[in-house]
């Protein structure tokens, strides 16, 4: 058994134990891509709990799993959690928000600050703005209060 397949099996066991311990009515479908990334897709009755409050529980479970497998993640393994296409829909939403805010900043020259968000969401905002002329982004704050600020370009 190769190392990536072994990691997938270990992640699968961990996620199943996590679900079992949580008493949530969920099941996980684990898939590993050719690039070595592991995708965990959730299904089940308790999806609304998993995705509520901007998917805090989904993000927390992903974070815990990545911490448990921190050595493998540090070596380049990617472990991503999703449910009902939430990640793609969230990316599209954030990109639209970023583009609207950037246009507003470009015209008004007044900075725009997003509410605090996780690193994954901040990265989406930064990437959405990178090719828009007249604006730039930076992150500010610490920990859970870290946020993205869109500023007029120099």
State the CATH number of the domain containing residue 106. Answer: 3.30.1370.50
- 99-136 pLDDT, tens per residue? 999 999 999 999 999 999 988 899 999 999 999 999 99
- 16 and 54 fall within a common domain: yes
**Using one digit for the tens of pLDDT, what is the confidence trace for 41-84?**
999 999 999 999 889 999 999 999 999 999 999 998 999 999 99
Q: What is the CATH number of the domain that holds 67?
A: 3.30.300.20
Number of domains in the chain: 2
> Domain containing 35: what range?
3-84
> Which structure tokens are listed for 73?
């993640």
- pTM for the predicted model, two decimal places: 0.80
* Same domain flag for 53 and 103: no
77/121 same-domain check: no
93 and 113 together in one domain: yes
Cβ-proximal residues to 124 (8 Å cutoff; 6+ apart), any chain: 90, 91, 94, 95, 98
């Amino acid at each position: 058994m190769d190392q990536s397949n072994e990691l997938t099996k270990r992640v699968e066991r961990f996620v199943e134990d996590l679900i079992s311990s949580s008493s949530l009515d969920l099941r996980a479908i684990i898939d590993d891509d050719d690039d070595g990334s592991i995708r965990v897709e959730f299904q089940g009755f308790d999806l609304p709990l998993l995705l509520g409050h901007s998917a805090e529980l989904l993000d927390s479970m992903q974070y815990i799993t990545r911490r448990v497998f921190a050595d493998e993640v540090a070596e380049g393994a990617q472990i991503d959690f999703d449910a009902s296409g939430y990640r793609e829909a969230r990316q599209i939403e954030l990109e639209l928000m970023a583009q609207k805010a950037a246009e507003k900043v470009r015209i008004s020259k007044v900075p725009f600050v997003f509410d605090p968000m996780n690193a994954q969401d901040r990265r989406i905002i930064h990437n959405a703005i990178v090719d828009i002329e007249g604006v730039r982004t930076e992150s500010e704050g610490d920990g859970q209060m870290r946020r993205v600020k869109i500023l007029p370009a120099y």
